[in-house]
Structure 1
Amino acid sequence: MDATGPHPSRRRILGMAAALPIAGTGALALGAGTARAATDAAYVMCYFTESPDMLAANYGLHLAVSTDGLEWTPLNQNNPVATPTAGSGGLRDPFVLRKQDGTFVVLATDLLGTDWSYVSQYIHVWDSTDLRTFTGYRRMKLHDMNTHSWAPEAYWDASRGRYGVIYSAVNSSGHNVIMVNHTSDFVTASSPQVFFDPGYDVIDGDLAVGVNGVNYLYFKKNSTLVGARSTSLDPGSFTEFSTAVSHGGTEAPTLVRSLTSGSTWYLWGDTWSPNGVFYAWRSSSLAAGTWTALNQRTYTQPLNSKHCGIHPITMAEYGNLLAKWGTPAWNRLKSYNYPDRYVRHADFVGRIDAYAFDPYADSQWKLVPGLADSSGVSFQSVNYPTRYLRHHDYALRLDESDGTSTFTADATFHRTAGLADASWASFRSYNNPTRYIRHYDYALRIDPVSTATERQDATFRVGY
């Protein structure tokens, strides 16, 4: 959720109304407290979408998949796969949990858009056997207080034989705490209890349950991500212990355990603004509570994704989701040496700009067979489909075809192994074969490439 940090006025409004968010949007609890398939080998991410000018604002349930938890493929063309029909009619902060019977439950905040004054004692709930169909849509009431129920997350509490649902609400002292209810069916819930209240504002709680006998709770504190831990799941038992991490106004912590190295954990965080830029950290010991920031070359969030939840799935489920929803019909190209920037057109000029931006479709491309040579590739604009990226006087721009062989040759490139990293890609000009697409002062052009810097300038990741 986005209601703290630089927005103290929102706290005052909600405090008067209630008298705030937890992004349990995505705990990945791979310990004894969470059911998982024995063959888990991939991940699913759930999220909603926003962009700086809100052109991408969509408050339905979105899904993406990944085999490593770092590079993501949006499903259904990055459109929602389910949309709430009750309450506000929209969701934020979705969360996926595999239940003890192997099926899934999806929870989400009942909130459409950014109307922070909207108060709901309910959360959205769906059931799913496979994350391809969503049934039994309902809202579950959590309390009768005059405050919200933001960013719900669920976990299996073996000692109680029930699921815990944690969420954010304002307590009687007027600050944000993490509450908990217990449920056996996600239809009705027990009375609420305060789960975690260190005496100051905390939101966006995310749990990893039963990791070597310890439970870890990460949350947002003063625009940083901080961890607490407990050997039980009893309300009030968690104590803060970790080193805070942040990248600007960071919220929505999401813990992800590597499926290939059990000691490796990732911590995702979201920026509070509509920009919704994700950052990630890595740790080789969750118990140590220290994190190292990852280079953005190593991960790519789904386009316009906000406040995600991540959960492991089997490779069969991964394949079935791709078969059901398909991969995007477009790609984005990330710069190798400026991995926060993507290839786009602006005023029909090719360049790389820092994500996120609007119109976001300026960065979406269809890589079609080369106009002059089908063994090559041409870059067709998604939002200007009659235009292609071509070079003119060595500078790249977005032009409509004039039907000449010169245009088709200018708009054709041969994809090669990345000049700076063979797992990435570089693009050699068809009619100027000693030149490659590269950026210079963030503008795109074709140039001869010889130095290490030039090779990095000419290397891109083709993804989504």
Structure 2
Amino acid sequence: MMKKLFSTLAVILLFLSCAKPEQEVYMFSFFQNNGQDGLHLAYSYDGLSWTALNDNKSFLAPEVGNAKLMRDPCIIKGGDGLFHMVWTVSWNDKGIGYASSPDLINWSEQKFIPVMEHEKGARNCWAPELFYDKDSSRYMIYWATTIPGRFEETDSTGDSGYNHRMYYTTTKDFKTFTDTKLLYDKGFNAIDATIQKIGGKYVMFVKNETKYPKAEKNIRIATSDYLTGGYSEPSKPITDNWVEGPTVAKTDMGWVVYFDKYTRHSMGAVLSDDLKNWTEISDKLSFPAGTRHGSVFKVKKSILENIKKSEAAE
């Protein structure tokens, strides 16, 4: 009887050990210099100390767009199990880049998505991001564009006449897309938005790109009950000035917003447990040399180990 009981317990314990969710690690997609060599990746177990993969060399060279750059790479895990990536292809182009991968090693053919082709005066499409909406099984792609004269009251507030607002389109298959629409306009020059769904609300972290008459260049927060609109007025700045490219992760420490201190050539971060009170933790960070901003996301540890194995095999 006892022998049978121990045997049953052993089977249960084995089942429980097998059913335990696989450990996840943090990944960071980024670019270097002007984005000419493509996608770089780093990983971290604590969200603070980051190690470059592939000897800090590119995983994927850019092939689309007028300038063939791969700046601001944003990667998310989709509902289909694939990793989907969008990026800035050029300083002055009317579309963005897109590719997908099952493992962050092998990538699909790169695609140019002409999201602002219909706007004759559009100057650019910068810092695109992705959000996967589980309820509708659709992806929202959103980015910043300047259309001279569209928001005349702030046409003189940015660098070289750039006066951005946030726009978006949605898709289920990255083949057909809804018409491009305005996502966020609160009367100021806005860029580098990234969105998280937190506690039933959509939380947008967005850069105030105002340079004149008084420089802002800081990150603020807006919220909405809906993914594609209705976002609030921005909060007070949660960072100091002259930063860009926010990306957000929920860690054991709390919510961390990473950003690029681009005038100081270093990465920074702020930490909060309530999304209201923020503490600077930049001095606790360690990133690979030359890191420029991108996106933070989680992957199963087996994905990371597979990348390491593929490097060793080369």
Q: Same fold (TM over 0.5)?
A: yes
Residue of structure 2 equivalent to 1:133: 106
Greater fraction strand: 1
Residue of structure 1 equivalent to 2:193: 205
Cα distance in 1 for partners of 2:22, 2:187 equals: 42
Cα distance in 1 for partners of 2:187, 2:293 equals: 25
| 8 Å CA contact 1:250, 1:271 repeated in 2 | yes
| 8 Å CA contact 1:140, 1:187 repeated in 2 | no
| 8 Å CA contact 1:180, 1:194 repeated in 2 | yes
Cα distance in 1 for partners of 2:23, 2:277 equals: 26
Give the drift of 1:103: 1.2
Cα distance in 1 for partners of 2:182, 2:265 equals: 29
Give the aligned length. Answer: 269
Q: 2:288 aligns with which of 302, 309, 313?
A: 302
Cα distance in 2 for partners of 1:199, 1:192 equals: 20
Pick closer, same or farther for the CA change 1:147–1:241 going to 2, 3 Å. closer
Q: Does 1:167 align with 2:155?
A: no
Cα distance in 2 for partners of 1:225, 1:199 equals: 16
Cα distance in 2 for partners of 1:59, 1:202 equals: 27
Q: 1:270 aligns with which of 260, 276, 280?
A: 260
* Matched residue SS, 1:90: coil
Residue of structure 2 equivalent to 1:154: 130
Cα distance in 1 for partners of 2:256, 2:69 equals: 29
Q: Does 1:323 align with 2:301?
A: no
Q: Does 1:224 align with 2:224?
A: no
| 8 Å CA contact 1:242, 1:290 repeated in 2 | no
Residue of structure 2 equivalent to 1:99: 78
Give the drift of 1:74: 0.6
Q: Does 1:282 align with 2:251?
A: no
| 8 Å CA contact 1:105, 1:127 repeated in 2 | yes
Q: Superposition pairs for residues 1-40 of structure 1, below 5 Å?
A: 39=22
Give the drift of 1:147: 2.6
Cα distance in 1 for partners of 2:125, 2:177 equals: 13
Cα distance in 2 for partners of 1:67, 1:324 equals: 20
Cα distance in 2 for partners of 1:94, 1:204 equals: 12
Identical-pair percentage: 24
Q: Kindly provide the amino acid, as one letter, of the partner of residue 99 in structure 2.
A: W
Give the drift of 1:157: 2.5
Cα distance in 1 for partners of 2:228, 2:302 equals: 36
Give the drift of 1:58: 4.2
Give the drift of 1:266: 0.3
Cα distance in 1 for partners of 2:82, 2:245 equals: 25
Residue of structure 2 equivalent to 1:121: 94
Residue of structure 1 equivalent to 2:247: 254
Residue of structure 2 equivalent to 1:291: 278
Give the drift of 1:271: 1.9
Give the drift of 1:249: 0.7
Give the drift of 1:304: 0.3
Residue of structure 2 equivalent to 1:311: 297
| 8 Å CA contact 1:126, 1:135 repeated in 2 | yes
Residue of structure 1 equivalent to 2:173: 185
* Matched residue SS, 1:188: coil
| 8 Å CA contact 2:222, 2:235 repeated in 1 | yes
Give the drift of 1:234: 2.9
Give the drift of 1:59: 3.9
Residue of structure 1 equivalent to 2:12: none
Unaligned runs of 5+ in 1: 1-37, 112-117, 327-464
| 8 Å CA contact 1:218, 1:227 repeated in 2 | yes
Give the drift of 1:295: 5.0
Calculate the TM-score normalised by the size of structure 1.
0.55
Pick closer, same or farther for the CA change 1:40–1:170 going to 2, 3 Å. farther
Give the drift of 1:248: 4.1
Q: Kindly provide the amino acid, as one letter, of the partner of residue 261 in structure 2.
A: T
Q: Kindly provide the amino acid, as one letter, of the partner of residue 42 in structure 2.
A: A
Cα distance in 1 for partners of 2:304, 2:47 equals: 12
Give the drift of 1:149: 1.3
Pick closer, same or farther for the CA change 1:301–1:58 going to 2, 3 Å. farther
Cα distance in 1 for partners of 2:249, 2:288 equals: 16
| 8 Å CA contact 2:246, 2:259 repeated in 1 | yes
| 8 Å CA contact 1:48, 1:93 repeated in 2 | yes
Q: Does 1:65 align with 2:43?
A: yes
Cα distance in 1 for partners of 2:167, 2:23 equals: 30
Pick closer, same or farther for the CA change 1:59–1:188 going to 2, 3 Å. farther
Q: Superposition pairs for residues 236-247 of structure 1, below 5 Å?
A: 237-240=230-233, 242-247=235-240
Structure 1 runs (4+) deviating above 3 angstroms are: 158-161, 240-243
| 8 Å CA contact 2:79, 2:134 repeated in 1 | no
Q: Kindly provide the amino acid, as one letter, of the partner of residue 175 in structure 2.
A: V
Give the drift of 1:159: 4.8
Residue of structure 2 equivalent to 1:395: none
Unaligned runs of 5+ in 2: 1-20, 156-162, 209-215
Greater fraction helix: 2
